Amino acid sequence: MGSAGSKPAAGDDATEAVESLVGDRYEVEIGPVAHGGHCVARHEGRVLFVRHGLPGERVVVEVTDGTATSRFLRADVVEVLTASPDRVKPACPYAGPGRCGGCDWQHATPSAQRGLKAAVVEEQLRRLAGLEMDVEVEAVDGPPGLPEGLGWRTRVQFAVDPATGAAGLRRHRSHEVEPVDACAIAAPGIEELGIERRDWTGVVAIEAAAASGSLDRAVVVTPAEQDGRMPIVELDRPVSVFRADDKGRVKRVHGRAGVREVAAGRTWRVSGNGFWQVHPAAADTLVGAVLDGLEPRPGDVALDLYCGVGLFAGAIAERLADGDTVIGIESSREAIEDARHNLRETQGARFEVGKVERVLTRPGFLRRADVVVLDPPRAGAGRTVVERIARLTPRRIAYVACDPAALARDLKYFAERGYRLRGLRAFDLFPNTHHVECVAVLEPAPKKR
């Protein structure tokens, strides 16, 4: 038999497996934070991406993923030898190595978390966009009467342990379910439903929504057997129930068609499992940042890309004259139906169903736009969408991003098309996780003489 990783001898039916390092323990010093909820450490020249540590700590880590030939290893802190002054005891008993993967930074103070997130945004801008700038991640008020960073998440996706029927949350980088009695970052309106206390045998997943602007509650249930009967859902509070199929299509079983959210001075209908920001203060916070950046004015043609239920389109329309053009584009037909309902009394507002890159290239669709806001999914907008936006020659662009790497990449694309970064604000709308929301404002760069 050859050494580990060598080619098998002629006629061998099996190749010797490369040595796994999972379970090995090393003493290391934690280095800088990295994108994704971990920090960087090194052991004998090899890079380790370490969770549950903080920069400057001396710790013992246990490898969770990697082999003797891997370029890097993943590991968890299992013993803290020298603690950071920013370390605190996690508020949730399910946070920690091998447990729930939803929170990355419960072991750090809220201010330290914001500092870590700022460092990540700065690093991504520098590495991917060539931009050097100081970033401050702004704190956002959470629900009153709760400790900072807890009880804010108004949308939660629960998985179900097929062996026990218990609802829980996924472990980090795993399909395994961590059953929980309660989620520390879930909004009170979610916990009042009692989802974790119910037997969900026959169900794969439950998505729960608790509107922050009304008493509306909804759950989207995905049965394990798509051709079987819908399980009876009995929760501790009145709730609208929806059934999802294996293709993500949602059908109402009973109750309201969705939930009513309140933001930007109006009530918004969000049907089924439609998108809405999960922090109760997020919608107003982001609307304020977008309006400050765009400075829309009467006579403008405005474009809202990845518009969802029309939040930014509606807010911009309030700054325009009656009848000024505001166009929203969104691939979800259900979201567009909500947007049309929500802005049904707004003259000049219209909405298009389809992928943004395709709608923007329809013959005769639009020749110019004065202000553009885009709030793409985590993967970002991409080069094609950036080029289409630049062709419309807007004077201001507001880019709302939940992933700093995708944002930085797209800012580079905008720079190639003649747009510079005018300003950037970052908000801690996902406390205790590694996620951070940014609003970047762009304008045409001065032409070189």
Q: Same domain, yes or no, for 250 and 269?
A: no
Last residue of a domain, one of 202, 233, 255: 255
Last residue of a domain, one of 229, 255, 281: 255
What pLDDT was estimated at residue 7? 38
Query: What is the token pair recorded at 140?
Result: 């956002």
Q: Same domain, yes or no, for 162 and 77?
A: no
Classify residue 403: in a domain, yes or no: yes
Q: Same domain, yes or no, for 248 and 288?
A: no
Classify residue 434: in a domain, yes or no: yes
| Tens of pLDDT, residues 124-134 | 999 999 999 99
Q: Is the predicted pLDDT of residue 17 greater than 80, yes or no?
A: no
Cα dist from 364 to 26, 359, 360, 361, whole Å: 62, 10, 9, 8
Residue 28: burial class (beta carbons within 10 Å; 0-12, 13-18, 19+) = buried
Query: What is the token pair recorded at 430?
Result: 């996902």
Q: Is the predicted pLDDT of residue 184 greater than 80, yes or no?
A: yes
How many Å apart are CA 159 and CA 274, to the nearest integer? 19
Last residue of a domain, one of 61, 87, 113: 87
At position 185, the amino acid (one-letter code) is: I
Q: Is the predicted pLDDT of residue 6 greater than 60, yes or no?
A: no
Query: What is the token pair recorded at 118?
Result: 């700022």
Classify residue 147: in a domain, yes or no: no
Classify residue 449: in a domain, yes or no: no
Q: Same domain, yes or no, for 284 and 399?
A: yes
Q: Same domain, yes or no, for 194 and 307?
A: no
| Tens of pLDDT, residues 248-304 | 889 999 999 989 999 999 999 999 889 999 999 999 999 999 999 999 999 999 999
Q: Is the predicted pLDDT of residue 4 greater than 70, yes or no?
A: no
As annotated, the active-site residues are 402
Report whether 104 belongs to an annotated binding site: no
Report whether 330 belongs to an annotated binding site: yes
Q: Same domain, yes or no, for 176 and 317?
A: no
Report whether 306 belongs to an annotated binding site: yes
Per residue, what are the HEC states of 206-223? EEEEECCCCCCEEEEEEE
The H-or-E segment that residue 74 falls in is strand 72-82
Q: Same domain, yes or no, for 347 and 377?
A: yes
Classify residue 104: in a domain, yes or no: no
Report whether 277 belongs to an annotated binding site: yes
CB 162 within 8 A of CB 173: no
Q: For residue 397, which of 300, 309, 325 has the smallest C-alpha distance?
A: 300
Q: Same domain, yes or no, for 241 and 274?
A: no
Per the structure, the complete domain to which residue 36 belongs is given by 1-87
Any bridge partners for residue 27, and if so which? 60
Q: Same domain, yes or no, for 287 and 430?
A: yes
- Give percent above pLDDT 90 in the chain: 90
CATH code of the domain in which 1 resides: 2.40.50.140
Q: Same domain, yes or no, for 31 and 13?
A: yes
Q: Same domain, yes or no, for 185 and 288?
A: no
Q: Same domain, yes or no, for 249 and 173?
A: yes
Q: What is the mean pLDDT of residues 332-336?
A: 96
How many independent structural domains does the chain possess?
3
Q: Is the predicted pLDDT of residue 209 greater than 60, yes or no?
A: yes
Q: Which residues contact 93 (CB under 8 A, 6 or more apart)?
A: none
Q: Is the predicted pLDDT of residue 415 greater than 80, yes or no?
A: yes
